[in-house]
Amino acid sequence: MIPVIGLLAGLGLGLWLQPTVPLWLQPYLPIAIVAALDAVVGALRALGEKRFNDRVFVISFISNVIIASAMVFVGDQLGVGSQLSTGVIVVLGIRIFANAAAIRRRIFHA
């Protein structure tokens, strides 16, 4: 309940305020969002399997965001920023798909 309210509140606030992303944050924000989405989908799967743990979710959320951003940062420093962010996106995308597939199997048994 609270997460849903939080999501709606965040979306509404962002659409209402329409903030401009600071320049230093611009390369990291999309990656951080995908990493956070991965954590959220993983949490949904854990909820479905009744092994959801608050601590695990919070830590995985934060660490996902930080690691993804750090990889982009390091990639930028090494001059392979675009390739590395593509790699991060691909890995996170695969994880999201895997988790979504697990949820789907659990709900539809298919």
Partner 1 sequence: MPESYVSRFRRWSRPTGMHLLIGGLIAVLGFGMATQFVQDEATDYTSVRGVELVELLKSIDAANERLGTQIEDLTQTRDDLLSSSRRSEDAEEEARQRSEQLAILAGSVGATGPGVVVTIDDPDEAVSANQLLDAVQELRDAGAEAIAINGTARVVAQTYFLDDESSIVVGGREVKRPFVVEAIGDPATMSEAVKFRGGLIDRVSNAGGKATVEERDKVTITALADVKGPEYARPTS
Q: Which of 41, 46, 50, 54 binds partner 1 (CB under 8 A)?
A: 54
* Distance, CA of 8 to CA of 53 (rounded, Å): 22
Structure tokens at 57: 């979710």
Piece of 55-63, 88-96, 102-110 that binds partner 1 (CB under 8 A): 55-63
Q: Decide if residue 50 touches partner 1 (CB under 8 A).
A: no
The DSSP H or E segment spanning 45 is helix 29-48
Q: Of 81, 80, 79, whose CA–CA distance to 28 is shortest?
A: 81
Residues of this chain that bind partner 1 (CB under 8 A): 1-3, 5-15, 18-21, 23, 26-27, 29-30, 32-33, 36-37, 40, 54-55, 57-58, 61-62, 81-82
